[in-house]
Amino acid sequence: MTPSELEDWLQTSASTSSGWTKDDDSNESVGHESGRKIVDILRRNPDKDPEGFEEGDLVHMRKVVSYCKRHLAQEEEKAKQDTESRSYRSLKNWGHDALKE
């Protein structure tokens, strides 16, 4: 997903109502927070220049890749078949639209 697509998605009620809620008073899901971080990273470094990343950016992006890979291995077909499923919405919060190739 592009930063704009992800940012638009994160503003929807489907996005804010899916995923595991963090262990704080924010009521924000872990995936929603991750999506905001992804948008920030991509906006700051649109060319993905290795020298343009800040401390922690690559750690977060590795976490994103790991989550998506694990989740897709478990529920890719479900996410592709039902855009209302928790799987689809959760993956989208992490920047992966299962309907896009």
For residue 75, what pLDDT band results from cuts at 50, 70 and 90? confident
For residue 21, what pLDDT band results from cuts at 50, 70 and 90? confident
Give the pLDDT confidence score for residue 77 in this predicted structure: 84
Give the pLDDT confidence score for residue 24 in this predicted structure: 76
Domain ranges of the chain: 3-93
Give the pLDDT confidence score for residue 28 in this predicted structure: 85
Q: Is the pTM of this model over 0.95?
A: no
| Model confidence at 26: pLDDT above 90 | no
Which distant-in-sequence residues (6+ apart) come within 8 Å of 60 by Cβ? 34, 37, 38, 41
- The length of the chain in residues reads 101
Which among 24, 18, 20, 64 is positioned nearest to 41, based on CA atoms?
64
Q: Percent of the chain beyond pLDDT 70?
A: 98
Distance, CA of 25 to CA of 5 (rounded, Å): 27
Alpha helices in 1-101 (DSSP H): 3-10, 13-16, 30-44, 57-81, 86-93
On whether the CB atoms of residues 1 and 9 are closer than 8 A, the answer is: yes
| Model confidence at 57: pLDDT above 80 | yes
